[in-house]
Amino acid sequence: MTELGLLLDAMIARIEEVRAPVDSRIERALRSVPRHRYVPPIALIADGDRPPFLIDRDKDPELWMTSVYTETAIVTQLDDGATDLATLDGNYSSSSSAPATVADLLELLDPQPGDRVLEIGTGTGWTAALLCHLAGEQNITSLEVDPVLAEAAAKNLAEAGLRPHLVVGDGAEGAPDRGPFDRVHATCAVRTVPYVWIDQCRPGAVIVTPIHTGVGDGHVLRLVVLDDGTAQGRFREYADYMAMRSQRPVYLPDPAGVQPRESTTRVDPRMVVRAPPGARLAIAALTGLRLDTRTEPGRFLVWASSTTEAREKALVIWEEGKTEYKLYELSDRPVWDEVVAAYFQWVRWGEPRRDRFGMTVGPQGQCYWLDTPSQVIS
């Protein structure tokens, strides 16, 4: 067994440890498309378990190679390229996603040989290469907004002998000349599913996209395109992807000169933000608000805010030893009460899990539902 063979075995075993057994087609693709061909010589490991660190193929080839085959995302760009990776500090704007997540999403997508596939977010080119293996290189179109990343991905793919159709452009516009698609796979997260993705699909097509709602971690949504030009499907599992550039989370600064109204609440804000994924989906769907948190010694701060009106914001501060918590609100819109009401609505519904929620997307926009598409909740 070669060293690469051993590393691939270890990667597959680790994927199976953190999730279910890998589908045999996806496993063959993962083995045929070695990840190290798509990781740049210098990259950043930021898995949250330890402080972020650089891997450098020239300086420490062994660390680089073993890191590439571990179950972690590998950051390849900070701040859209404006910050050097060596600073270890910035917003992650591109990465090679963790192998288990890649396998999960590909399994949900289930691309068949001959399917025409659109990928949004070429990044390093690894997923595009896996898609080439699964559906045939002539059927793959991959879109990347960042020209520098797109060029590097094109080089990686060419060196591996693969020629998918690569486009530098905004994934929100899709690739109208290359459809109709049987599969659309976004590898960046959206809050609003662009209708053009559906419009560029054949009826029966499958769309798999990470969704970020602004309330806690992200979710994977799997949609099926119907014969009436809409698409519907359920939230399936956890996936925290970086947001599509045009749909990055919006956090509006406090408006100047507005005095917050002070009161108290008996609801522990930690209960709301630590609630399971189903509750977080309910809060996002019912309120449209986002939640942000900060932990301080003896305190836990939660902001609930609108993404369109800077005044529609509240801050709740949990403090150790207190039985009531300070609540500061900037406008008459009772955003914190809305969050709490949504949380208890979720409890009244019987605490539904993530996959009881779904979404329908049509030309007029998107709506969330619970259990069946006819039970629209927002």
Ligand X SMILES: C[S@@+](CC[C@H](N)C(=O)[O-])C[C@H]1O[C@@H](n2cnc3c(N)ncnc32)[C@H](O)[C@@H]1O
- Interface with ligand X (CB under 6 A), residue from 145, 225, 282, 361: 145
Close Cβ partners of 364 (under 8 Å, ≥ 6 residues apart): none
- Interface with ligand X (CB under 6 A), residue from 11, 54, 131, 144: 144
Burial of 172 (0-12, 13-18, 19+ CB in 10 A): buried
Using the rule CB under 6 A, is 96 a contact of ligand X? yes
Using the rule CB under 6 A, is 124 a contact of ligand X? yes
Using the rule CB under 6 A, is 95 a contact of ligand X? yes
Using the rule CB under 6 A, is 156 a contact of ligand X? no
β-pair type (74-78, 92-96): antiparallel
Using the rule CB under 6 A, is 230 a contact of ligand X? no
Nearest residue to 305 via CA among 227, 249, 361: 249
Find the length of the chain.
378
Q: How far is CA 358 from CA 237, 342, 355, 369, 373, in A?
A: 12, 17, 7, 5, 7
Using the rule CB under 6 A, is 305 a contact of ligand X? no
Using the rule CB under 6 A, is 94 a contact of ligand X? yes
Nearer Cβ to ligand X (73/289): 73
Give the whole-angstrom CA distance, residue 285 versus residue 216.
Answer: 13
Using the rule CB under 6 A, is 146 a contact of ligand X? yes
Nearer Cβ to ligand X (244/335): 244
At how many degrees (to 10) do helices 3-18 and 24-32 cross?
140
Using the rule CB under 6 A, is 302 a contact of ligand X? no
Using the rule CB under 6 A, is 143 a contact of ligand X? yes
- Interface with ligand X (CB under 6 A), residue from 105, 140, 211, 244: 244
What does the DSSP assignment read for 222-277? EEEE-TTS-EEEEEEEE--PPBPGGG----PPPPTTPPPEEEEESS-HHHHHTS-H
Give the whole-angstrom CA distance, residue 209 versus residue 190.
Answer: 8
- Interface with ligand X (CB under 6 A), residue from 127, 287, 306, 360: 127
Burial of 355 (0-12, 13-18, 19+ CB in 10 A): middle
Q: Which stretch binds ligand X (CB under 6 A): 95-103, 133-141, 308-316, 357-365?
A: 95-103
Of the listed 94, 95, 97, 305, which one is catalytic?
A: 97
Please give the residues from 25 up to 44 whose contact with ligand X meets the rule CB under 6 A.
none
- Please, what is the minimum distance in Å from the beta carbon of residue 143 to ligand X? 5
Three-class DSSP category at 9: helix
Based on the residue annotation, tell me whether 378 is a catalytic residue of this protein.
Answer: no
- Interface with ligand X (CB under 6 A), residue from 187, 213, 232, 287: 187
By annotation, the residues acting in catalysis are: 97
The residues binding ligand X (CB under 6 A) are 93-97, 120-121, 123-124, 126-127, 143-146, 149, 170-172, 187-188, 241-242, 244-246
